[in-house]
Each structure stands twice: as structure tokens, then as C-alpha cells.
Amino acid sequence: MSEATDVSRSDYPIFYPITTRWMDNDIYGHVNNVTYYSYFDSAVNRYLIEEGGLDIHSAPVVGFVVNSSCDYRMPIAYPDEIEAGLRVERLGNSSVTYGVGIFRRGEESACAVGSFTHVFVDRAANRPVPIPAQIRNALAAISR
């Protein structure tokens, strides 16, 4: 587990509840490392859909993950009730880097802290394009 500086709830402007599942646990009795990335992806995409108006089925511009990382600080395990805190670390022309914190419900310190970068691309051409205005505005609202 990481010994990095404490990260607290106040570092994130928005939170989403996540339900841990029995299958999230690994043989060591805690949530497996790869599962955290699905938590990150779920929180980011929920925000883009709900706040940015992203139509995941037919939008001409979509976000592709190009980089992700996670620092593990405290283990979580099923049936923990958790929440993903979300913020924007860097907002570029065609890319955005999110910060995501995983917290047990009601706890102040993050159990895991991650980074997740999207590059927005034209769905048909698979080429980078500027972030659409509605999405950019939503991202700016949670930017540090």
C-alpha cells in the first residue's frame, strides 16, 4: 500500500456510490487491483453522461482511455460500501486527466487514488478532436 500524502473527501467536488460485488474480491480477501480501474471508468463515464450529455451509443465524439494509474492506500473488500470522488486535474484541447479517489462510505481518507486520461476522438475516424463544448463545460465545473 502507498504511503503517499493523505487524500481527503474535500479534494473532490462530486461523488458516486459504487456497489462492491463478491466477485471483486481476490484470493487474498480484498478487492483486486484491476477492479479499481472499472470503478474509475464507471465514475468518469457516469459524469460524462449525466453532466456532459455524452451519448455513448451515437455521439460523433467519444473519449478513449490513453493512460491510467492507481495508488493503493488501504484495502477494501466486499461488502464494503464505497464512493468514487471525481475531479479534473488537467483540461487540454482534446484531452482531460481526471483524479479519482475511492473512499469507504463516510470515511475521510481515500483507500485508493487514481489518474485516468481520456483523449476525445472522432468516432468514425479515430482521430483526436477538440472536446465538445457541453462536455468541456462540465469538465471545467470540476476542474482544480
> Which pLDDT tens digit goes with each residue over 54-73?
999 999 999 999 999 999 99
Q: If you average pLDDT over residues 26-38, what whole number do you get?
A: 95
pLDDT computed for residue 2 by the predictor: 45
Whole-number Å distance between alpha carbons of 3 and 20: 24
Q: Where are the domains of the chain?
A: 9-141
In the CATH hierarchy, which fold is given to the domain comprising 9-141? Answer: Thiol Ester Dehydrase; Chain A (3.10.129)
Nearest to 89 by CA among 81, 101, 76, 107: 101
Q: If you average pLDDT over residues 38-58, what whole number do you get?
A: 97
Whole-number Å distance between alpha carbons of 136 and 21: 33
pLDDT in tens, 85-131: 999 999 999 999 999 999 999 999 999 999 999 999 999 999 999 99
Residue 1, pLDDT above cutoff 70: no
Per the model's pLDDT, the better-predicted residue between 5 and 78 turns out to be: 78
Please say whether the beta carbons of 102 and 82 come within 8 A.
yes
Phi, psi of 65 (to 5 degrees): -75, 125
5 — pLDDT class (breaks 50, 70, 90): low
